[in-house]
Amino acid sequence: MLHKREHYEKMVNEPRNPSHWHALYLDKSVPFNPDAKAAFLYDSSSKSRQFLYPVAKVFARLSIILMQLFKIVVPNLINAPKLLHKCLYLGMKYFITPEANFVILRHFYLGSEVLRFIKDNVEGAQDIPMNPLKPLSVNDVKDNLFLEHDLNLYNFIINLNTAIAEKGLKIVKKEHPDFSAISTGELPFEDFRDGWTNFIDLGTAIELFTPVYQFYLTDNDFWRATNSLQLDEVIGIYASTIMDCPEKLTALNNKHPMIPLPTTDAAFRLLLHGFSTEVLHAMLVQGKVDLQR
């Protein structure tokens, strides 16, 4: 398990040369799991993020544009989600930093817990089907993990709102929310490979993976996947209504889900998507801890 917290907690501040990352780690204005925050900041401060990311960003976004032109002619020629996830698995295992893999797997795990929390706190919604994704190792990516995550999000919103319309259910404030779905301790991930080739940071990896994602999916599947990145505010509104804390939505940055954005921005929006999930889950963890006191 990763423990990058010590890196920042033991860091000595130099008043004439303060660390950007040290300041962000110590700041507690936005709720965030300390282990995930340390891993995210440590990964973001790498040489890969500073020097490789700008080059990868240009290459990746040009590839997306060219691939989009190709998909106009043959939108459904390639549909190979299994092969896609095999490529993602290999890339994650052998080339991405342990910190990036830690943050990625947390995203799926936490996302499942957030959806379950909402379901548990809407009276009459208990029969809504769920497909929780709680990967514990990079090997779990091969089970179409990324694609299933997108489908889960759409199906949950559709099923929940169908039940609201048909049964007259309501999402309302709960005086004592059910936090049983929310984990407060360390997640039991297997150790991540940390070889000399594991140097690519999270932001760069996402930029490089996005055109690969586009290549192996149909145009419709890729379009749906990129649009799902703007549903953070929808899920945030559900949770904050239950918790009665709408002011916490300020950190959920993927706004305006009804306005589709260019697919070239998908990689950056995916970073925001992961950030938003961490913030929302940390808010629920704090609510659970406060309730137990």
pLDDT single digits (tens) 125-175 = 989 999 999 999 999 999 999 999 999 999 999 999 999 999 999 999 998
| Biggest CA-to-CA distance, the chain | 62
Long-range contacts of range 168-172, CB-CB < 8 Å, 24 or more positions apart?
169/122, 169/123, 169/124, 169/125, 170/122, 170/123, 171/118, 171/122, 171/238, 171/241, 171/242, 172/241, 172/242
Contact 269, 228 (CB under 8 A): no
Predicted confidence band at 253 (pLDDT cuts at 50, 70, 90)? low
Is the model's pLDDT at 1 over the cut of 60? no
pLDDT single digits (tens) 55-107 = 999 999 999 999 999 999 999 999 999 999 999 999 999 999 999 999 999 99
Nearest Cα to Cα of residue 228 among 157, 159, 154: 154
Interhelix angle 81-95/98-120, rounded to 10 degrees, is: 130
Is the model's pLDDT at 250 over the cut of 80? no
Share of the chain above pLDDT 90, in %: 82
Predicted confidence band at 17 (pLDDT cuts at 50, 70, 90)? very high
Quote the pLDDT of residue 164.
Answer: 94
Is the model's pLDDT at 110 over the cut of 70? yes
- In this structure, what are the phi and psi dihedrals at residue 54, rounded to the nearest 5 degrees? -60, -35
Task: Calculate mean pLDDT across residues 34-46.
Answer: 95
> Mean pLDDT across the chain, nearest whole number?
92
Predicted confidence band at 118 (pLDDT cuts at 50, 70, 90)? very high
Total-model pTM:
0.94
The single residue listed with the structure tokens 């932001």 is 203
